[in-house]
Amino acid sequence: DAGVTQSPTHLIKTRGQHVTLRCSPISGHKSVSWYQQVLGQGPQFIFQYYEKEERGRGNFPDRFSARQFPNYSSELNVNALLLGDSALYLCASSLAGVGNQPQHFGDGTRLSIL
């Protein structure tokens, strides 16, 4: 079975632009979470969606938004990009909500802002 897939793998943008990152969860998983990871640090929670509804939101500005589709895939959108948005963006899926559920991560999208 395919794992969590993310696209694109790498992306270069300039300040002020917007970006859409995509995630396909493991088949049968209904929960998708998004994380931002700066090099050498732990991932920071951005959003969690379960059954197409937002179930959790981290401490990120309103420039960050996400949604989950009926097939449980998800998109993360970031508007008005800043240099500080440069990071690895990780998507994780799980069967249900977060809690004790193991999170299965994709390999991420490396976003560079020039």
Partner 1 sequence: TQLLEQSPQFLSIQEGENLTVYCNSSSVFSSLQWYRQEPGEGPVLLVTVVTGGEVKKLKRLTFQFGDARKDSSLHITAAQPGDTGLYLCAGDPTNKLIFGTGTLLAVQP
**Interacting residues toward partner 1 by CB under 8 A:** 4, 33, 35, 40-45, 48, 55-58, 90, 92, 97-100, 102-108
Residue 67 vs 104, nearer CB to partner 1: 104
Give first-to-last CA distance, the chain, whole Å: 37
Beta strand ranges found along 17-102 (DSSP E): 19-24, 31-37, 44-50, 53-57, 64-68, 74-78, 87-94
Please state the closest distance from residue 54 (CB atom) to partner 1, in A: 11
Nearest to partner 1 of 16, 61 (CB atom): 61
Cβ atoms of 36 and 87 within 8 Å: the answer is: yes
Of 16 and 27, which CB lies nearer to partner 1 in the complex structure?
27
Distance CA 78, CA 45 (A): 15
**How near is the Cβ of 15 to partner 1 at its closest, in Å?**
26
C-beta of 14: minimal distance to partner 1 in Å? 24
